[in-house]
Chains A and B, each alone.
Chain A
Amino acid sequence: MSDYGIKSVKPEVNIKSKYPPDWNLNTKYPLLKIFSITRDTFGATDYTITHDLGYRPLTMVWFEDPYDEDNYFFGTYPADFPILGQRITNTQVILSGVENYNFICYIFYDEM
């Protein structure tokens, strides 16, 4: 089967390129599609975000540094902070954290 769909490549690159880093879009492959964005602060217990996707979605979480609110980390905090984590189920994304820490959680339509 010949190619079909929409394809866009970086400037100066031949549209026929089969090298994925050259592509801006190739509809053979999915873009990371954002399902929801949650910005909030941890309470005293795990923070649960409910979704209705029916599968375990890809997520990304950034945390605000509680000692310097200008700075944001991806994933976990430095070693001298309490452990943080996330669990992903078919219906929930459960963030484990520390009270009063701010976070931003992106959930994607794409399956983990």
Chain B
Amino acid sequence: MQGIKAAKEYATIKGTDKRNIAIDSRINTLKTKDELVLAYDDSTAITFPHGLEYVPGYLSFYKNSFANYWIFSGGGADYINNTNFISPIDTMSFYSKGKVFVLFDPLDVPTKGIKPPKKFGLSVSQDKTDIKNALSTNILFDSNLEHFMIVKEMEVSCTYSDITPGDGGYELNYSFEGTKVAHGLDYTPAFIASFLCQDYEYYILNPYYVEVPTEAGKSIFVCVDSTYVWIKVNIYFGNSFVSPESIYTDGDTITAKVRLLNKELE
């Protein structure tokens, strides 16, 4: 056995529970190629040539045009192909800013990757891969690349019956504050969130907004700003869509698990 392995803070390196491990050279990770800041002017679609000859993964976040919070994208607000990341013009009427993380990790062909530029520092390839010839796909960690870290785990919840988003219209809905918890970070963090479906023992990952059964056309979602993590209720954002089924009824607790990342949105 060779390589490196490190446990996260207050966790033991021993045992098999990978949740305790910060880095393990037998396990691959997501690696960021580019961070894009999208600024909309309501007139032009945004196209970014990513320079990879395959389709890379990406994560994107958007800032609401009418308020100051950020949501996880999805819902066809944008897309990517083997040449460009594209945020179409339709997206702009709902968002004022965007932040996109284009990954090295491929979507179309699992073996695709590039040799990252070597400058200095620490580079670790996966088991049985020569670091000198390793593509980004097989590099676990490289100090010249950027990686996603979970820097905080949070839970936000509210009672379903407390949600009274009004009867329609942007202004009414945007004024609804939902529930919020201070995240304690000095920046607006990128995040990943999901809703616990208490009766079903499973999670639905945000941005599959959870439909509010008694409020047609409205849904529950997680968002962040520079101070808080929120649960909010709103009409569907742009092209976003609801979960496959309505899962909450009056009196239920709505719980969102939120993972805050080391990446800042602004």
Contacts and interface: CB of A to CB of B under 8 A. Distances in A.
B147 A31 contact: yes
Interface string A74-104: 1111110101111111100010100000001
Given A23-B149, A88-B205, A112 B259 contact: yes
Nearest to B27: A33
Contacts of B105: 106
A20 B185 contact: yes
Interface string B196-240: 010011111101100000000000000000000000000010011
Contact of A31 (B148, B200, B236): B148
Nearest to B75: A76
Contact of B203 (A21, A28, A35, A88): A88
B151 A77 contact: no
A109 B236 CA distance: 31
A70 B81 contact: yes
A85 B19 contact: no
A109 B79 CA distance: 26
Interface residues of A, number: 58
Contacts of B200: 87
Nearest to A79: B239
Contacts of A21: 187, 262-264
B208 A76 contact: yes
Interface residues of B, number: 74
A62 interface: yes
Contacts of A109: 18-19, 21, 27
Contacts of B75: 75-79
Count chain A CB atoms within 10 A of each CB in B122, B197, B202 and give the residue with the most: B202
19 contacts: A8-B121, A11-B119, A20-B185, A20-B262, A24-B143, A24-B145, A29-B151, A30-B149, A33-B21, A56-B203, A58-B259, A61-B205, A70-B81, A75-B74, A81-B76, A85-B243, A109-B18, A112-B194, A112-B203
Interface of B: 4, 6-9, 18-19, 21-24, 27-30, 55, 57-60, 72-76, 78-82, 86, 105, 107-108, 110, 119, 121-122, 141, 143, 145-151, 185-187, 189, 192, 194, 197, 200-205, 207-208, 236, 239-244, 257, 259, 262-264
